[in-house]
């Protein structure tokens, strides 16, 4: 498996430029085609309200929408042009529910690059956890406060032996194969993982030519998400691979506490699958 077709979400937020830079660097590293996507949310104005609008109001709304679509395309075109990647890129703009449309389109790509939710932004955003759950494909989430320094130096695989974790490892294989060092990190392992937790999946990665080591930590006083983030810092990792852990019950419980913590406090890009 290889990355040959990458989708990146584009919006008017201040963190979009950093996300585009990361997506372009990733596409260039894997010789992949890059598609930029902007979806304007049309669900914010009920149909009965639209029917009551004057012709001038409808025209003003359409002009504002056209301006936003042109702005996002210009942002994308400028980024790919600056990177010399115009020949390997394309642009798409859609109308509708951003999460739903992006999730559907993501199924035709190897990977979708999206942004972390920024609570301080008033711009349109796609909740990344919703995209992870709906797309059925891997989503690489870039922090809203992020500056690309290294790529492919050290990856941490957050492993708990779950179905979601196995899916994430399989989806991330092209990225892991291009990474110098990989740490399979197990936090608070249970008895089913044996005496050397994480060693089996590390061996699996090694048989793919990946330089992987297994590590495990038992911590009862520190939250699992904080342990993982501390290891990201201590080990100088530049990406985390993990499953969207949880069980499909109430929405607020689906992603699991560790996943929600990482999505809120992430400091490096996180590749997530569910």
Kindly state whether residue 18 falls inside one of the protein's structural domains.
yes
The per-residue pLDDT for 46 is: 60
Residues 94 and 32 in one domain: yes
CATH of the domain at 165: 3.40.50.620
Whether residues 121 and 12 fall in one domain: yes
Mean pLDDT of 30-46: 87
Each residue's pLDDT tens digit, 178-214: 999 999 999 988 888 888 999 999 999 999 999 999 9
pLDDT averaged over every residue in the chain: 89
Q: What is the pLDDT of residue 47?
A: 58
pLDDT per position as a tens digit, 79-97: 999 999 999 999 999 999 9
Q: Same structural domain for residues 164 and 135?
A: no
81/104 same-domain check: yes
Whether pLDDT at 148 is above 70: yes
In terms of domains, do 99 and 201 share one?
A: no
Is the pLDDT score of 21 beyond 90? yes
**How many domains does one find in the chain?**
2
> Does residue 147 fall inside a structural domain?
no
Residue finishing a domain among 91, 122, 142: 142
Of 89, 109, 142, the position where a domain reaches its end is 142
The reply to whether 148 falls in a domain is: no
Confidence of residue 103 (pLDDT cuts 50, 70, 90): very high
Q: 83 and 134, same structural domain? A: yes
pLDDT of 44 over the 80 cut = no
Residues 122 and 197 in one domain: no
Instruction: Tell me if 94 is assigned to some domain.
Output: yes
**Residue 138 and residue 58 share a domain:** yes
Asked whether the predicted pLDDT for residue 63 surpasses 80, the reply is: no
Domain assignment present for residue 187? The answer is yes
Q: Is residue 14 part of a domain?
A: yes
Q: Is the pLDDT of residue 176 over 80?
A: yes
The last residue of a domain, from among 110, 142, 174: 142
pTM of the model: 0.90
Instruction: Judge whether 149 lies within some domain.
Output: no
Domain that holds residue 78: 5-142
Does any domain span residue 274?
A: no
Residues contacting 2, CB < 8 A, separation 6+:
30, 110, 174
Map residue 194 onto helix, strand or coil.
Answer: coil
CA dihedral 60, 62, 67, 72 (to 10 degrees): 150
pLDDT in tens, 106-116: 999 999 999 99
């Amino acid at each position: 498996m290889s990355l040959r077709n990458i989708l990146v979400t584009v919006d008017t937020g201040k963190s979009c430029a950093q996300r585009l830079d990361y997506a372009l660097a990733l596409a260039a590293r894997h010789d992949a085609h890059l598609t930029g996507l902007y979806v304007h949310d049309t669900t914010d104005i009920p149909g009965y309200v639209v029917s009551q609008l004057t012709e001038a109001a409808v025209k003003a709304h359409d002009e504002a929408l056209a301006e936003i679509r042109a702005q996002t395309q210009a942002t994308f075109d400028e980024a790919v042009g600056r990177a010399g990647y115009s020949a390997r890129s394309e642009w798409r703009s859609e109308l509708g529910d951003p999460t739903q449309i992006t999730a559907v389109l993501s199924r035709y790509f190897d990977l979708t690059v999206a942004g972390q939710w920024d609570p301080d932004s008033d711009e349109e955003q796609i909740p990344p956890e919703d995209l992870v759950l709906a797309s059925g494909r891997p989503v690489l989430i870039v922090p809203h406060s992020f500056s690309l320094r290294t790529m492919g130096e050290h990856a941490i695989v957050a492993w708990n032996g779950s179905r979601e974790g196995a899916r994430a490892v399989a989806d991330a294989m092209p990225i892991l194969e291009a990474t110098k060092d990989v740490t399979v990190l197990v936090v608070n392992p249970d008895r089913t993982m044996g005496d050397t937790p994480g060693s089996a999946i590390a061996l699996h990665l090694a048989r793919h030519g990946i330089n992987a080591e297994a590590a495990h930590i038992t911590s009862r006083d520190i939250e699992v998400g904080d342990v993982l983030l501390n290891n990201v810092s201590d080990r100088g990792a530049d990406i985390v691979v993990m499953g969207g852990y949880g069980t499909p019950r109430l929405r607020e419980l689906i992603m699991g506490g560790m996943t929600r913590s990482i999505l809120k406090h992430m400091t490096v890009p996180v590749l997530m699958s569910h």
